[in-house]
Amino acid sequence: MGDNSTGFHFNTNATTQGATFVDSGWLLVSAVEFYINYAVIGIGIIGTAANAVILYAVIVHNARETKKRMVNWLIINQNLIDLCCCIGIVISMWVTVSNIYLTGSLGYILCSVLITQNVVTCLLNGSVINLTTITIERYLKIVHPFWSKRNLKSWMIKAAIVFSRIAGILSVAPLAFATSFVSEGKCLMLQLFWENAEIKMGYGAWNFLSFFLLPLIIFVYCYGHMVKKGKR
């Protein structure tokens, strides 16, 4: 019988080296993810401070000018959403990096609301809707000033603000609550949902159209006409 010890040692060394390489790769990924998470927390803190200052300045300015013109509630709402979004990012990322052992009702709430970035995504979608509303309002006042002065009422603006918040919540929250669950202290996000390829594709297409493509078309159309109006 031949001596297969050399081949055996070669295979063992190759397997060991491969395992070491994979482990090193995972360690590198974990390290990069660690620093990215804390970088996001830092950006969120800076964004919170900046948006708080801007919101204060906008409120003070509108309070001084309220007798001369109508308060721009859409701008105030936009700053408030951005401020809440930054706060939500800081809290969500802090809970994520803390590696809290999740259990019970509190664990499920932390999972479905914070770790899944549910609250942040709701605010981001609401922000897109409110920005689109601001664009349409500016377009009507600049391109169609007489029509907007006659037909654009304050209750419409307030209704648009309420709609941006409700629509932002409904765009993500039901899905996050229905498909997130806690297992062995860990948060499992959207696991059941993504097993259905048709639902995944349909939701992805709807999300892309509603919060990217359609707002982009509105921005280009409205601001394009406003620029043309300004050059006349």
Please determine, for residue 8, whether its predicted confidence score (pLDDT) is greater than 50: no
Which CATH number fits the domain that encloses residue 93? 1.20.1070.10
Please determine, for residue 37, whether its predicted confidence score (pLDDT) is greater than 90: no
> What is the overall mean pLDDT for the chain?
82
List the domain range (segments joined by +) for residue 59: 5-231
Domain count, the chain: 1
pLDDT tens, position by position, 57-93: 888 877 776 555 556 889 999 999 999 999 999 999 8
Residue with tokens 């948006």: 51
- Among 232, 231, 219, which Cα is nearest to 139's? 219
pTM value is 0.80
- Confidence label for 202 from pLDDT (cuts 50, 70 and 90): confident
Mean pLDDT for 13-30 is 52
Residue with tokens 């995504």: 121
State the pLDDT at residue 5: 52
SS3 assignment, position 181? strand
Mean pLDDT for 195-207 is 79
**Residue 185, token pair as written in the block:** 């202290």
- The rounded percent of the chain whose pLDDT value lies above 90 is 34
- Among 97, 93, 95, which Cα is nearest to 109's? 95
pLDDT tens, position by position, 122-173: 999 999 999 999 999 999 999 998 988 898 888 999 999 999 999 999 998 8
d(CA 145, CA 190): 47
The answer to whether residues 175 and 193 touch, using CB atoms and an 8 Å cutoff, is yes
- Confidence label for 14 from pLDDT (cuts 50, 70 and 90): very low
- Among 155, 162, 156, 122, which Cα is nearest to 136's? 156
d(CA 48, CA 44): 6
